[in-house]
């Protein structure tokens, strides 16, 4: 092997793609309607999008059209992933050297003719300090094709396994248990134990201040009437089974309980009224789904835009319009669930820095709620 030669441009493409996928955790994006271009995406990289373009650009008109086309594709990706900004790197491999790059917002462009040119490109060496040392240079020809393909396939196989483990159908156990527990307590209330259960279990700020902190959690399992429990349990069924499947049972129950507690705490900050219901915990699951969807936005971006966020906004509006619904409990649970999920992390996606930031912000959030509800009332 090694007697077959490949042209210099293809060699650069393979080495760059190999580096970005195996060393920088970029993922290929399928972009319909493009030819001789490779698009890569990473939520954690210095550039969200890297585009490697091997088309020949011979004049300024072609360059302007190429940038126009690139912006349109990036705009489509931003819509699909619900991203407000997307810093991108445009790598040209075959462009007339007389063409001057224009300053484009959020798009850096560089011209690479050979591997040696990499050392001269500050955008690359600053943002990817290991690109020179990690770039595959020990093989050429068919050996390069074989080794690069093998290593990329190994990397993508690992990613595909993670996606399969995350999205494959799994037994949902805790969600029906929680629904059953809520229904059981609801039946006990209407079988004659209502006064005692509500008296000792409902969320009530002054009682919590006196040490009855269990009310922050027990109130999450108490519902007033059939409509109250029906809508909450329906929402728990729809959202709960997704979070239990995507994140696992342990993370699901932690998110649910902490969200319920933080929802109760913020409700106490705003009002001294009695509070009951699982809405805060359910909104926490919505927060978890938003954080999860952020990490899998290329896969869940459309669902985030058409289902999850509209449901969230609708429920917040209902909290504003319908009396006796605690909007503060909804918001408290939503933030608590979001931060708890950030702390626990999304398997195969969350970095350690991200989890540490989640821990810090969650502690600050809970400390703020404790201070406001216990000492500022």
Sheet holding 107-111, edge to edge: 27-29, 37-41, 49-53, 88-92, 107-111
Catalytic residue among 279, 328, 350, 373: 279
All residues at 6 or more sequence positions from 51 whose CB lies less than 8 Å from its CB, including other chains: 37, 38, 39, 40, 70, 88, 89, 90, 91
- CA gap 22, 35 in Å, rounded: 23
Contact 199, 218 (CB under 8 A): no
Sign of CA dihedral 83, 79, 166, 169: positive
Catalytic residue among 18, 223, 295, 330: 330
Q: Which residue has the tokens 């195996």?
A: 22
190 is catalytic: no
Sign of CA dihedral 360, 365, 369, 372: positive
- CA gap 302, 133 in Å, rounded: 39
Which residues is 89 bridged to in the sheet?
Answer: 50, 108
347 is catalytic: no
Supply the residues annotated as catalytic: 279, 330
């Amino acid at each position: 092997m090694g007697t077959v030669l490949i042209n210099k441009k293809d060699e650069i493409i393979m080495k760059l793609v190999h580096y970005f996928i195996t060393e920088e955790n970029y993922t290929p994006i399928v972009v319909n309607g493009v030819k001789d271009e490779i698009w890569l995406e990473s939520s954690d990289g210095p550039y969200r999008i890297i585009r490697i373009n091997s088309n020949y650009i011979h004049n300024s008109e072609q360059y302007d059209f190429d940038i126009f086309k690139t912006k349109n594709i990036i705009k489509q990706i931003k819509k699909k992933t619900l991203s407000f900004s997307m810093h991108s790197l445009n790598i040209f491999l075959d462009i007339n050297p007389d063409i001057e790059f224009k300053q484009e917002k959020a798009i850096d462009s560089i011209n690479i003719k050979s591997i040696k040119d990499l050392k001269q490109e500050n955008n690359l060496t600053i943002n990817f300090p290991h690109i020179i040392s990690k770039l595959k240079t020990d093989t050429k020809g068919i050996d390069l094709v074989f080794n690069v393909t093998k290593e990329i396939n190994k990397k993508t196989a690992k990613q595909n396994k993670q996606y399969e483990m995350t999205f494959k159908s799994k037994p949902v156990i805790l969600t029906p248990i929680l629904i059953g527990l809520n229904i059981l307590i609801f039946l006990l209330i209407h079988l004659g134990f209502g006064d005692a259960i509500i008296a000792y279990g409902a969320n009530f700020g002054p009682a919590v201040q006196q040490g009855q902190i269990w009310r922050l959690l027990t109130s999450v399992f108490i519902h007033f009437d059939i409509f109250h429990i029906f809508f909450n349990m329906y929402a728990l069924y729809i959202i709960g089974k997704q979070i239990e499947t995507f994140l696992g049972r342990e993370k699901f129950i932690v998110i649910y309980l902490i969200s319920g507690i933080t929802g109760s705490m913020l409700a106490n900050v705003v009002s001294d009224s009695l509070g009951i219901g699982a809405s805060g915990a359910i909104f926490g699951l919505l927060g978890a789904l938003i954080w999860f969807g952020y990490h899998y936005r290329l896969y869940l971006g459309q669902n985030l835009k058409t289902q999850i966020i509209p449901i969230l906004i609708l429920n917040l509006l209902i909290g504003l319009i319908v009396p006796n619904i605690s909007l503060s409990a909804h918001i408290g649970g939503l933030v608590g669930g979001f931060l708890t999920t950030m702390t626990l992390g999304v398997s195969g996606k969350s970095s350690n820095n991200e989890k540490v930031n989640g821990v810090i912000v969650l502690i600050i959030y809970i400390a703020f709620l404790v201070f406001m509800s216990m000492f500022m009332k």
